[in-house]
Amino acid sequence: MYKSKRLILLIIITLLLPFVSFSQKESELNVIRNFETNFDSLLNSYYIRQNTRVIKKSYDKAYDNLCEPTSVSNVSDSIIAKRLRALPSNIELTYNRQVRNIIEYYIDKGGARVGVMIGLSKYYFPIFESILDQYSVPHELKYLVVIESALNPNAVSPVGATGLWQFMYSTGRMYDLRVNANVDDRKDPLKATVAAARFLRDLYRIYGDWQLALAAYNCGPGNVNKAIRRSGKNDFWGIYNYLPRETRGYVPAFIAASYVMNYYKEHNIYPAILSKPIATDTIMVRRDIHFEQIANVLNIPVEQIKDLNPQYKRNIIFGTQDNYSLKLPFLLVNDFISLEDSIAEYNKDKYFGKPVEEKEYITKEVKLTHKVRKGENWNSIARRYGVNVRDLKSWNGNKKSLQRGRILSIYKNQKVEVTKKEKEESPFTEQNAVSNDADVQSQEQTEETTNNDLTEETTTKKTKEITKSKTKETITIKAKETTTPKSKDTKTTKEKKQKEKKQKETYHKVKKGETIAALSRKYNVPMDEIFKLNKLSKRSVIKVGQSIRIK
């Protein structure tokens, strides 16, 4: 009986082995496919297109080192394992068949590609190391970028993960990476590396194991926790078969990348010489600037600016809207700082359109109505509209009682948008009228709309009358100039001055309930001055329809 059970178990294992090996190969193929896709995208980079001669886009037996003594296929497992153990690392660099398969792919079938990444690493790795050190995470995590994006900041996965560190939208937002119509911080090497360092540090605090933290970085903590529960194990190789297929090849790919980026010389691979500037600096931008403006003024290729600043989607930096930075070759930084205003003004209309004309406003009197509600009194209504109780009563017949449902009239000054011409022709100006914007905002919208329609009609009538009177005056002046002789020039100039003086004078037609005090507040003119201009005593009473000089 016991032997038959063992035989059945052996048959089951034998049948399952092909599926297990297929699953392992599939996970390795996923890593390889992602790498190839991201690398092919990287070939469109400005810096790499500048050096096409040193790059081979695909494996070629005539040039690559598959049959050379330095190929991985000719190096024993013991030597590779010994080299991995010799690397200073806080992360366990386990060596097994999965790791070897990916090392063979990188070196024997992608030697030229590795050379390009090593060339780019001279630019990116110092940036990564300083930020990883700042957040107290191992420097060797920089090799994640090799398997994540092939050092391509514009890499985008089929599921939408973006940038050097392949952040999903939701995870990026959790770690303060802006993604909007103008900018995608996931493509910013500096900001994305800060976010990756924080994310990896948080994952390590959860699991206390860097291999599990790497697995969670790839497939999310939820999938890792599920694999731990199902397997009953608490290490990567223990939960390996319970992880998503792509994640199974993730940690082996990281170990392989660590080996390749350190032992490439032993396999006869050398860095590609790229034109990417090693010395760069980052500056904050205060103005709205297009990349072509920078290129034309500083004499730098637009493609070079794009490669240094891949986070900007539309080649525009809206420096007036938010804190945005610009990375440039070090030698051009001082030039940009001194010429920023000139750069922003260079062909501004071409890149940002014509500036919108500033809105013109006039202050005019508006009549509002208020329906008395239950519990309201003169004081509460006056406070609501920001007017004097005495004025409120005078506008409404000085009645002591205030019945519910009664319609009250209220007069307010309000800023109204007009054309420049209407503003010049309007008798009301900013100097002789008090603005009460805050009070106007508190009034009911229904009251505003009904009363605004009425006031707009009155102002248009007034402006038409003023323009007619002005045109008549200009016609009469021209007629006088043609008829009067030259000897009377001085007389006409005096008349002109007198007319101009009269035009500058401001008069107000008294309405029902208005007082000198109300006019003083309305036009911001002292009461004594109004008394003096109109030769009135302090006891004088003004009547409805009376014309009062204000200025």
Write out pLDDT tens, residues 297-319. 999 999 999 999 999 999 999 99
The predicted-structure confidence for 8-35, as pLDDT tens digits, reads as follows 555 554 544 444 344 555 656 666 777 7
| pTM, full prediction | 0.60
Q: Which of 33-47, 95-109, 187-201, 294-308 has the lowest mean pLDDT?
A: 33-47
Q: Which of 411-420, 434-443, 466-475 has the lowest mean pLDDT?
A: 434-443
- Tell me the CA end-to-end span of the chain in Å, nearest whole number: 119
Comparing 374 with 480, which gets the higher pLDDT? 374
pLDDT, residue 424, reads: 58
Report CA Rg, the chain: 40
Q: Where in the chain is the domain with CATH 3.10.350.10?
A: 505-551
pLDDT, residue 301, reads: 92
Record the tokens describing residue 97, joined without a space: 């068949």
Name residue 362's beta-bridge partners. Answer: 416
pLDDT, residue 168, reads: 94
Question: Mean of the pLDDT values across residues 432-443?
Answer: 40
Task: Work out the mean pLDDT of the chain and round it to a whole number.
Answer: 78
pLDDT, residue 62, reads: 43
Identify the CATH number of the domain defined by range 505-551: 3.10.350.10
Question: Mean of the pLDDT values across residues 274-278?
Answer: 78
The predicted-structure confidence for 127-175, as pLDDT tens digits, reads as follows 999 999 999 999 999 999 999 999 999 999 888 999 999 999 999 999 9
Taking the C-alpha atoms of residue 493 and residue 363, their distance in angstroms, rounded to an integer, is 33
Instruction: Identify the band that residue 324 occupies on the pLDDT scale cut at 50, 70 and 90.
Output: very high
Whether 477 has a pLDDT exceeding 50, the answer reads: no
Q: What backbone phi and psi angles, to 5 degrees, belong to 149?
A: -140, 0
> What is the enclosing helix (H) or strand (E) of 438?
helix 437-442
Comparing 271 with 13, which gets the higher pLDDT? 271
pLDDT, residue 258, reads: 96
- Tokens 């790499």 correspond to 48
Identify the CATH number of the domain defined by range 24-267: 1.10.530.10
- Tokens 């035009």 correspond to 503
Question: Mean of the pLDDT values across residues 254-281?
Answer: 89
Nearest Cα to 396, choosing from 383, 410, 375?
A: 410
Q: Where in the chain is the domain with CATH 1.10.530.10?
A: 24-267
The predicted-structure confidence for 21-76, as pLDDT tens digits, reads as follows 445 556 566 667 777 777 767 766 766 666 655 454 443 434 444 446 678 888 89
Question: Mean of the pLDDT values across residues 369-391?
Answer: 87
Record the tokens describing residue 2, joined without a space: 């016991």
Instruction: Identify the band that residue 545 occupies on the pLDDT scale cut at 50, 70 and 90.
Output: confident
Whether 392 has a pLDDT exceeding 70, the answer reads: yes
Comparing 433 with 255, which gets the higher pLDDT? 255
